[in-house]
Structure 1
Amino acid sequence: MRPRHYSADLTAPWKKSAPAPEVPAEPDLVVEEVATGFCGAVIRCEAGTVTLEDRFGKHRAFPLAPRGFLLEGRVVTLVRPSSPAPSRPARTASGSLAVPGARARVARAGRIYVEGRHDAELVEKVWGDDLRIEGVVVEYLEGVDDLQAVVADFAPGPDARLGVLVDHLVPGSKESRIAARVTGAGDGDVLVVGHPYVDVWQAVKPSSLGIPAWPAVPRGEDWKTGVCRALGWPLDTGAAWQRILGSVHSYKDLEPALLGAVERLIDHVTA
């Protein structure tokens, strides 16, 4: 569930106040019901009610009450669409066209490696459907310090291409030097790409979490613990990650730097 974030006009949503904007309850519109905090996508809208589906597949129906929902942090009044929504192709969380009834392809010899478990879980949540159709397996490394040995052991080739996603891949960083050693003398079967963030947490848009920005953490302090402290969250990085991951519903919740990197890796492994 997306963390609840109240703007100034939501401090007392049940009190009389200015009318909220009216928004048609079109299918796939993601909203949060004010009273319960239930967050989900619209799956149908009937006379006087709207039914939402959360990320676990749970359905709940709510009345179309004035000022009853949040849309991207703003109070809105959902209304029944004036006409049936035109049919349109379903899309996966990554934004690609869904393939109804498609079965997972037998896994390719190629692989995508990511640094840690959080990276793998985020990639699975957004690109999982696409990866299964393409037969691409994602594995995590628990860091990239031994990446050269990992690549040598994998023995990439034209029929077993390897893609690696690296955190904090910026000029002059340790990660950039490791990436250069891995790809410098290669024949193109290994692709190392990355994003500029200290950790994949930062690849989630702050607005999706209801925070103004990711906080700056003093040098020398554990970054994840520092983030929890600065945001006033419990100093439990596992619980913090579940909170962050729960705020991601599609590619729209991620920064472009990560989106582009993962798409490049999928293209590389499936070429």
Structure 2
Amino acid sequence: MNGVAAVARYTLLELSRRRILLVFFIIGALGIAAIGAALKIVSVTSPTVVSGGFGPPGSAQPDQALIDRLTELQFVSQLIDVIGFFALLIAFAIGMTAIYHDLESGAAVGIFSKPVSRLSFTAGKVAAALVAMIVIVGLLSLETRLVMTLFGGGLEGALWVETVAAVANASLLMLIVLALSTWMNNIIAAVVAFVYNGIAGVVVLLHTALDAGSLGNNTFIKAAIDIGYWIVPHHLMSDAKRQLARAEFDLFSASAQGQGGPSLADFVNSVPGASSVQDIVWWVFLVALFAALVYLAVRRRQV
């Protein structure tokens, strides 16, 4: 345990010196502040821009209080995607540097001579990488929570749960980059992981379309997509977007009464929901698998 803690502390210190992480954090922080400020300004100066196109058909234009609430919904909805995007960028940055630089610079030789086992080295590196990601993404989420006070608040639960999902998805990608960067150049490792992540996204979309009946009933296509679906990672999703959809529906339901439009169930069900238990179990399995691959890569690497 002492070896794991020592490697983790050393890695966190090294990561704190990586300018790329600081750059990503600054860009993310400025982007969140800019989105919040822009939406607040637009909601005050041009409320019809904010309210246009939202709510069930037949809904009336809301007053300023409802405009403020709708602006918050838009802000949180956009920030859910922004936080997920920056979590992936941070995953690439950490995965490309946490182990690769020690192996290439020769620092790993000194670490292994302490003595520190390769298992302790791997565990410390992975633990430090996860802590760094949680801290950085957590700070961005905290900033988002503070900016939400411009609009009154009330959707904190959706934000925090989505942050957890973003960290979980990014952690899996980070483990892939960590393992690959032990075997190959870190830039090539990032490219390979990026392509793999893109392919996984396409497979998941095809599986979603298959479940919706959009791809027909061809048995061969169904079998191929089902097999592919249980080979690639599934991005975990929280119930945040459905919470936002429910809040949006409630926002306009009073003004839309008697004017037709979809029911609450139809409106909410049109939005992707939280990941199933199967998806969560699959994520846990893949985390364990890729963590084991990181250890195997470190163990077999000659230094």
Which of structures 1 and 2 has the bigger CA Rg? 2
Q: Which has the higher contact order (CA 8 A, sep 6+)?
A: 2
Greater helix share, 1 or 2? 2
Superposition TM-score, scaled by structure 1 size: 0.27
Give the TM-score taking structure 2 as reference length. Answer: 0.25
